[in-house]
Structure 1
Amino acid sequence: ARIKKLMQADEEVGKIAQATPVLMAKALEMFMVELMKSTTDIASAHGAKTVSAGHLRASIMGNEKFDFLKD
Protein backbone atom coordinates (compact mmCIF):
# COMPACT_ATOMS: atom_id res chain seq x y z
CA ALA A 1 0.00 0.00 0.00
CA ARG A 2 2.87 2.39 0.75
CA ILE A 3 4.51 1.90 -2.61
CA LYS A 4 1.21 2.47 -4.39
CA LYS A 5 0.68 5.70 -2.43
CA LEU A 6 4.18 6.87 -3.31
CA MET A 7 3.61 6.10 -6.97
CA GLN A 8 0.28 7.90 -7.00
CA ALA A 9 1.81 10.97 -5.34
CA ASP A 10 3.28 11.81 -8.75
CA GLU A 11 0.74 13.79 -10.74
CA GLU A 12 1.88 12.17 -14.00
CA VAL A 13 0.99 8.67 -12.77
CA GLY A 14 -2.52 7.58 -13.61
CA LYS A 15 -3.99 4.22 -12.79
CA ILE A 16 -1.65 1.56 -11.47
CA ALA A 17 -2.09 -2.12 -12.32
CA GLN A 18 -2.47 -4.39 -9.32
CA ALA A 19 0.81 -6.22 -9.97
CA THR A 20 2.88 -3.04 -10.35
CA PRO A 21 3.43 -2.24 -6.64
CA VAL A 22 4.38 -5.88 -6.01
CA LEU A 23 6.96 -5.78 -8.81
CA MET A 24 8.30 -2.43 -7.62
CA ALA A 25 8.65 -3.77 -4.07
CA LYS A 26 10.61 -6.78 -5.31
CA ALA A 27 12.85 -4.60 -7.50
CA LEU A 28 13.53 -2.29 -4.55
CA GLU A 29 14.32 -5.26 -2.32
CA MET A 30 16.75 -6.68 -4.88
CA PHE A 31 18.43 -3.28 -5.30
CA MET A 32 18.85 -2.83 -1.54
CA VAL A 33 20.23 -6.35 -1.10
CA GLU A 34 22.86 -5.70 -3.77
CA LEU A 35 23.77 -2.28 -2.40
CA MET A 36 24.07 -3.54 1.17
CA LYS A 37 26.05 -6.63 0.14
CA SER A 38 28.53 -4.42 -1.66
CA THR A 39 28.69 -2.10 1.35
CA THR A 40 29.18 -4.87 3.89
CA ASP A 41 31.90 -6.42 1.71
CA ILE A 42 33.78 -3.12 1.83
CA ALA A 43 33.28 -2.82 5.59
CA SER A 44 34.55 -6.37 6.09
CA ALA A 45 37.57 -5.72 3.89
CA HIS A 46 38.48 -2.81 6.16
CA GLY A 47 38.01 -4.95 9.27
CA ALA A 48 35.06 -2.90 10.48
CA LYS A 49 32.43 -4.43 12.72
CA THR A 50 29.81 -1.85 11.80
CA VAL A 51 28.83 -0.37 8.46
CA SER A 52 29.30 3.38 8.21
CA ALA A 53 28.25 6.06 5.77
CA GLY A 54 31.82 6.01 4.46
CA HIS A 55 31.48 2.35 3.53
CA LEU A 56 28.22 3.11 1.72
CA ARG A 57 29.89 6.00 -0.09
CA ALA A 58 32.82 3.78 -1.11
CA SER A 59 30.40 1.16 -2.40
CA ILE A 60 28.56 3.73 -4.51
CA MET A 61 31.74 5.29 -5.85
CA GLY A 62 33.37 1.95 -6.63
CA ASN A 63 30.55 0.31 -8.55
CA GLU A 64 29.32 1.72 -11.85
CA LYS A 65 25.88 0.16 -11.28
CA PHE A 66 25.37 2.76 -8.57
CA ASP A 67 26.54 5.75 -10.63
CA PHE A 68 23.06 7.27 -10.53
CA LEU A 69 23.45 7.66 -6.74
CA LYS A 70 26.51 9.88 -7.04
CA ASP A 71 26.05 13.57 -6.25
Structure 2
Amino acid sequence: MPSKKKKFNSRFPPARIKKIMQTDEDVGKVAAAVPVIISRALEMFIESLILKSGETTMSRNAKTLSTSHIKQTIESEKKFDFLHDLVANIPDHQPEEE
Protein backbone atom coordinates (compact mmCIF):
# COMPACT_ATOMS: atom_id res chain seq x y z
CA MET A 1 0.00 0.00 0.00
CA PRO A 2 1.50 3.35 -0.99
CA SER A 3 2.20 5.76 1.81
CA LYS A 4 0.02 8.83 1.93
CA LYS A 5 1.91 12.02 2.58
CA LYS A 6 -0.19 14.82 4.00
CA LYS A 7 0.06 18.16 2.22
CA PHE A 8 -0.19 21.20 4.45
CA ASN A 9 -1.22 24.51 2.99
CA SER A 10 1.04 27.16 4.40
CA ARG A 11 2.15 30.53 3.16
CA PHE A 12 5.66 30.01 4.50
CA PRO A 13 7.47 26.95 3.16
CA PRO A 14 8.16 24.48 5.99
CA ALA A 15 11.43 23.41 4.33
CA ARG A 16 12.71 26.98 4.50
CA ILE A 17 11.61 27.32 8.14
CA LYS A 18 13.41 24.09 9.00
CA LYS A 19 16.54 25.33 7.25
CA ILE A 20 16.43 28.60 9.22
CA MET A 21 15.89 26.72 12.48
CA GLN A 22 18.85 24.46 11.81
CA THR A 23 21.21 27.40 11.27
CA ASP A 24 21.26 27.60 15.07
CA GLU A 25 23.82 25.07 16.25
CA ASP A 26 21.83 24.47 19.46
CA VAL A 27 18.93 23.06 17.44
CA GLY A 28 19.23 19.36 16.76
CA LYS A 29 16.75 17.31 14.80
CA VAL A 30 13.42 18.93 13.99
CA ALA A 31 10.24 16.84 13.80
CA ALA A 32 8.30 17.14 10.55
CA ALA A 33 5.33 18.83 12.23
CA VAL A 34 7.38 21.61 13.84
CA PRO A 35 8.03 23.77 10.73
CA VAL A 36 4.35 23.46 9.77
CA ILE A 37 3.28 24.62 13.23
CA ILE A 38 5.82 27.48 13.18
CA SER A 39 4.52 28.49 9.74
CA ARG A 40 0.94 28.62 11.01
CA ALA A 41 1.97 30.56 14.13
CA LEU A 42 3.82 33.05 11.91
CA GLU A 43 0.71 33.48 9.74
CA MET A 44 -1.43 34.15 12.81
CA PHE A 45 1.12 36.62 14.24
CA ILE A 46 1.34 38.60 10.99
CA GLU A 47 -2.44 38.60 10.63
CA SER A 48 -2.81 40.00 14.15
CA LEU A 49 -0.19 42.70 13.56
CA ILE A 50 -1.67 43.75 10.22
CA LEU A 51 -5.27 43.84 11.50
CA LYS A 52 -4.28 45.99 14.48
CA SER A 53 -2.19 48.22 12.19
CA GLY A 54 -5.18 48.53 9.86
CA GLU A 55 -7.28 49.76 12.77
CA THR A 56 -4.59 52.35 13.50
CA THR A 57 -4.61 53.42 9.86
CA MET A 58 -8.39 53.85 9.85
CA SER A 59 -8.32 55.77 13.14
CA ARG A 60 -5.99 58.28 11.47
CA ASN A 61 -8.35 58.51 8.47
CA ALA A 62 -5.52 57.37 6.22
CA LYS A 63 -5.97 55.32 3.07
CA THR A 64 -2.59 53.60 3.08
CA LEU A 65 -0.95 51.52 5.79
CA SER A 66 2.49 52.95 6.53
CA THR A 67 5.45 52.03 8.69
CA SER A 68 4.45 54.69 11.20
CA HIS A 69 1.08 52.94 11.66
CA ILE A 70 2.84 49.64 12.33
CA LYS A 71 5.19 51.40 14.76
CA GLN A 72 2.26 52.98 16.63
CA THR A 73 0.56 49.58 16.84
CA ILE A 74 3.71 47.91 18.18
CA GLU A 75 4.13 50.65 20.79
CA SER A 76 0.49 50.58 21.90
CA GLU A 77 -0.06 46.81 22.09
CA LYS A 78 1.59 44.96 24.98
CA LYS A 79 1.82 41.69 23.05
CA PHE A 80 4.18 43.36 20.54
CA ASP A 81 6.60 44.69 23.20
CA PHE A 82 9.39 42.44 21.95
CA LEU A 83 9.43 44.40 18.66
CA HIS A 84 10.14 47.83 20.21
CA ASP A 85 13.85 47.76 19.31
CA LEU A 86 13.05 47.03 15.66
CA VAL A 87 10.85 50.10 15.23
CA ALA A 88 12.88 52.56 17.33
CA ASN A 89 14.39 54.29 14.27
CA ILE A 90 11.14 54.59 12.30
CA PRO A 91 9.72 58.14 12.24
CA ASP A 92 6.61 58.54 14.40
CA HIS A 93 4.40 60.07 11.76
CA GLN A 94 4.80 60.39 8.03
CA PRO A 95 2.66 62.82 6.03
CA GLU A 96 -0.23 61.06 4.32
CA GLU A 97 -0.16 61.09 0.53
CA GLU A 98 -3.39 61.48 -1.35
Tell me which amino acid in the other structure corresponds to 1:13. V
More helix by share: 1
Unaligned runs of 5+ in 1: none
| Distance (whole Å) between structure 1 residues aligned to residue 82 and residue 69 of structure 2 | 17
Following superposition, which runs of at least 4 residues in structure 1 exceed 4 angstroms of deviation?
none
Report 1:8-47 matches (<5 A).
Answer: 8-47=22-61
> How high is the TM-score relative to the length of structure 2?
0.71
Deviation, 1:20, is 0.2
Tell me which amino acid in the other structure corresponds to 2:58. S
Cα deviation digits, residues 46-68 of structure 1 (max 9, x gap) = 11111111000000000000001
Provide the identity percentage.
Answer: 48
| Distance (whole Å) between structure 2 residues aligned to residue 12 and residue 52 of structure 1 | 37
What is the alpha-carbon root mean square deviation over aligned residues? 0.5
